[in-house]
Structure 1
Amino acid sequence: MSHPTAPPPYEDHNPLYPGPPRPGGYGQPSVLPGGYPAYPTYPQPGYGHPAGYPQPVPPVHPMPMNYGHDYSEEERAGSDSFGEWDNRKVRHTFIQKVYCIISVQLLITVAIIAIFTFVEPVSEYVRNNVAVYYVSYAVFLATYLILACCQGPRRRFPWNIILLTVFTLALGFMTGTISSMYETKAVIIAMIITAVVAIAVTIFCFQTKVDFTSCTGLFCVLGIVLMVTGIVTSIVLLFRYIYWLHMVYAALGAICFTLFLAYDTQVVLGNRKHTISPEDYITGALQIYTDIVYIFTFVLQLVGNRD
């Protein structure tokens, strides 16, 4: 059976696409009406390669593949770090969750302090058994390090709630033991001052354009200075009590933790250089609550007199 040496007559072509026939196959159009690709041309033996032309790759449809909003390069680069914060509902829900947790923590702490301050048998027991304070401090430090350093327990329910509850009880117990060694009047004054400072710092962070999170290096230096000063003061006061050294350390601690409170508040509020993920609401509550409690303990040392 002989093969034709020429393509079929041009009368067989599609009348919508006039034109000369293409060598190597029938004159079928490559694109049909509406922009859809046509079937590939069939190879004819005898032209070019002995086995005919290879099967052509189907053309890509001209419709863009990214459905929805067409993000620019700048938007795409910033979406990884600030995309979640663009949604106001997500941010407001996150802030509400953080401050609800802090409110519960502060209520528990105030209740423990009230028991240790106003219930005389409990106050007497704590004064005569200082080991209770060190046990609560060890539990506080262990749970704090777990929540601050381990992302798994911090984000996994219910372990994050359990650890946060243990942490709150330990820090509240530790604060209560400290309060039991001071006069009731001094404890109340320290609470009022702490509440005023915390509210003022929060309102200031909501209103100000100053970005405390951009000064991370400064806050690291303040933390190191406070830690070294605390170690030196503890060693000196262990052998001999020096009133002015104790007051200087208490004033420095109150100032530093007030600045830490401003930093941590802006980290939670977002829209700053450094923010935390909405999934880390435990971290936000942990940091702000710790700052407020430490402000209270340092203010208590400044205004209080031991019984």
Structure 2
Amino acid sequence: MWTQPYRKNDLEAGARPLYPLMQESPELRWAFIRKVYSILTFQLLATIAVGAVVVFVHPIAHFFVSTGAGLALYILLILTPFLVMLPLYFYHQKHPFNYLLLGIFTLSLAFVVGLTCAFTSGKVILESVILTTVVVMSLTLYTFWAARRGHDFNFLGPFLFGALLVLVVFGMIQIFFPLGRISVTIYGCLASLIFCGYIIYDTDNLIKRFSYDEYIWAAICLYLDIINLFLALLTIFSATD
């Protein structure tokens, strides 16, 4: 299926090749892409729903910041996505365990995002949501357009990984040695640029490189890109508010 040659009757059926020299059936690749974006849509809607509950039901956020049990639970929620990713890597092709683990991963991360938004002004959240939506849609359309014309973004992988390491170290320095509001703004700007690059890189991989059994992993990559971009923009607007 992965090496199935492209046939003329695929065009007659309405499918178009996503990029030059495509060796597989466009119909199968389009079906894979639709499945990934369906899962991604569910993840984003679940994140919005959970985040809205945490933001508008004030006792939830108050519990996490005013009690020792709440603080411990908050730390557990932060660690849960990292702990779930290991078994998810091994079971991402095994139904229904992959969807169960994906649900745990999404809901725990959604709770963390909601708690972050609970202590942020509504204006800042709205600005971040609007800008994230515009950027994600624009970069996604651009990547599909560029892939159709033969552009390849696989070369971005090593550069983005190196930039992400720098960002992580920068964040750790900020935790132990706070450098002020300007430094936080710079951190947010760097993170925004990096995850914009990751959106292009992972969308290009979705079009060309992910196998049909890697739909869960492809959705997670794009979901993390979008959430991290939103949090980076939230950092920028919060620091400048």
TM-score bin (small chain): 0.7 to 0.9
Alignment of structure 1 residues 226-305 onto 2, 5 Å: 226-237=167-178, 242-270=180-208, 275-304=209-238
Aligned pair in 2 of structure 1 residues 85, 280: CA closer, same or farther (>3 Å)? farther
Q: Does structure 2 conserve the Cα–Cα contact (< 8 Å) formed by 1:147 and 1:160? A: yes
Q: In the alignment, which of 141, 150, 165 is matched to residue 203 of structure 1?
A: 141
Distance (whole Å) between structure 1 residues aligned to residue 126 and residue 53 of structure 2: 13
Distance (whole Å) between structure 2 residues aligned to residue 116 and residue 233 of structure 1: 26
Give the number of equivalent residue pairs.
Answer: 217
Match of residue 107 from structure 2: 169
- 1:142-190 deviation digits (Å, cap 9, x = unpaired): 1123324x3xx11111111111000000110111111111112211211
Match of residue 94 from structure 2: 156
- 1:119-140 deviation digits (Å, cap 9, x = unpaired): 2222322332433331111111
Larger Rg: 1
Which ranges in structure 1 are unaligned for 5 or more consecutive residues? 1-68, 70-82
Aligned pair in 2 of structure 1 residues 293, 204: CA closer, same or farther (>3 Å)? same
- Between Structure 1 and Structure 2, the one with more helix by share is 2
Instruction: Tell me the TM-score normalized by structure 2.
Output: 0.83
Which ranges in structure 2 are unaligned for 5 or more consecutive residues? 6-20
Runs of 4+ more than 4 Å apart: none
- 1:177-226 deviation digits (Å, cap 9, x = unpaired): 11111112211211111111111111111111432113322122122212
Q: Does structure 1 conserve the Cα–Cα contact (< 8 Å) formed by 2:164 and 2:194? A: yes
Q: In the alignment, which of 123, 127, 134 is matched to residue 185 of structure 1?
A: 123
Structure number with higher relative contact order (C-alpha < 8 Å, ≥ 6 residues apart):
2
Aligned-partner residue type, residue 39 of structure 2: I
Distance (whole Å) between structure 1 residues aligned to residue 23 and residue 130 of structure 2: 34
How far 1:84 sits from its partner (Å)?
9.2
Q: CA RMSD in A?
A: 2.3
The DSSP-based 3-state class of the residue aligned with 2:177 is helix
Match of residue 134 from structure 1: 75
Instruction: Tell me the TM-score normalized by structure 1.
Output: 0.66
Distance (whole Å) between structure 2 residues aligned to residue 195 and residue 186 of structure 1: 14
More deviation, 127-136/225-234: 127-136
Q: Does structure 2 conserve the Cα–Cα contact (< 8 Å) formed by 1:261 and 1:292? A: yes
Distance (whole Å) between structure 2 residues aligned to residue 251 and residue 147 of structure 1: 31
Aligned-partner residue type, residue 181 of structure 2: Y
Distance (whole Å) between structure 1 residues aligned to residue 78 and residue 125 of structure 2: 20
Q: In the alignment, which of 156, 161, 166 is matched to residue 215 of structure 1?
A: 156
2:91 is equivalent to residue 91 of structure 1? no
Distance (whole Å) between structure 2 residues aligned to residue 158 and residue 130 of structure 1: 32
How far 1:306 sits from its partner (Å)?
11
Q: Percent same amino acid among aligned pairs?
A: 27
Match of residue 74 from structure 1: none
